[in-house]
């Protein structure tokens, strides 16, 4: 689940001569072509979008019977997994080399906001 939302667009990391913003837009387009996509039995990646300030936001839906009642606890379990994946997965080299901030937004199946997380270069470069 986590790795897909981080590296689902890892196919395109070979063109280094384009601007970072243009490259992010390409990555978002490629990722969105694969969406919506189930990442696990509870999480669906709906889309992603480039944000200002070198950031990529991934929009997820929590589906099925999983009910998130304690968002603080849920985030505290999920965030270290995402940071670990960012640190160890070679497919995210473009993001790390360009200090991209990763934003993750989670909604319910009706599109109602549940919570979000922001993973900055300070988090994954430690």
CATH number of the domain that residue 33 is part of: 3.30.300.250
What gap in Å lies between CA 115 and CA 96, rounded to an integer? 24
pLDDT in tens, 55-80: 999 999 998 776 777 888 888 999 99
User: Residue 104 sits in which domain range?
Assistant: 2-7+18-124
| The pLDDT value given to residue 74 | 83
* Tokens (6 digits) for 88: 């160890």
Output the average pLDDT for the chain: 86
Domain count, the chain: 1
pTM: 0.81
C-alpha radius of gyration, the chain, whole number: 14
- The DSSP string of 33-89 is HT-SEESSSSEEEEEEEEETTTEEEEEEEE-TT-----HHHHHHHHHHHHHHHHHH-
| The pLDDT value given to residue 65 | 72
| Residue 8 pLDDT > 60 | no
């Amino acid at each position: 689940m986590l790795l897909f939302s981080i590296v689902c667009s890892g196919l395109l990391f070979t063109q280094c001569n384009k601007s970072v913003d243009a490259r992010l837009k390409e990555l978002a387009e490629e990722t969105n072509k694969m969406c919506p996509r189930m990442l696990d039995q509870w999480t669906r990646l709906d889309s992603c979008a480039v944000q200002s300030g070198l950031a990529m936001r991934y929009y997820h839906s929590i589906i099925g019977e999983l009910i998130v009642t304690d968002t603080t606890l849920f985030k505290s379990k999920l965030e270290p997994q995402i940071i670990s994946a960012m640190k160890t997965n070679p497919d995210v080299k473009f993001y790390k080399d360009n200090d991209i901030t990763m934003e993750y937004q989670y909604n319910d199946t009706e599109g109602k906001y549940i919570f979000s997380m922001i993973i900055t270069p300070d988090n994954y470069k430690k």
